[in-house]
Amino acid sequence: MPSKKSLELKEFTLEDLKSELNETQAQYQKMEFDHATKGLENPLSMREVRRDIARMKTELRNREVTAMDDVALAKRSKIRARRAKGK
């Protein structure tokens, strides 16, 4: 079952999603710096921000894959098959 946050991300436009990703990454960098210098009140909040960044990147990649044409999808499938064969 998808999380509530990932369902909300599906409603964003591409530009909104990219800007939100940039803002969240900047927020995470600031949190890392603050945590290193003076410590955070709740260090587990860094985990949540990291996971939000991962959700946004995943949604961007899903949109990128769905926008691919047939040739690009076929090439991607070959690459994925070759990688799976090596495991």
**Predicted local distance difference test score (pLDDT) of residue 79:** 86
Contact 5, 52 (CB under 8 A): yes
Q: What H or E segment, with its residue span, contains residue 67?
A: none
**Predicted local distance difference test score (pLDDT) of residue 37:** 94
Q: Give pLDDT tens digits along the chain (87 positions).
A: 556 788 888 899 999 999 999 999 999 999 999 999 999 899 899 999 999 999 999 999 999 999 988 888 888 888 888 888 876
Q: Domains in the chain and their CATH numbers?
A: 12-86 (1.10.287)
**Predicted local distance difference test score (pLDDT) of residue 31:** 95
Residue 38 is given by DSSP the state T
**Predicted local distance difference test score (pLDDT) of residue 2:** 59
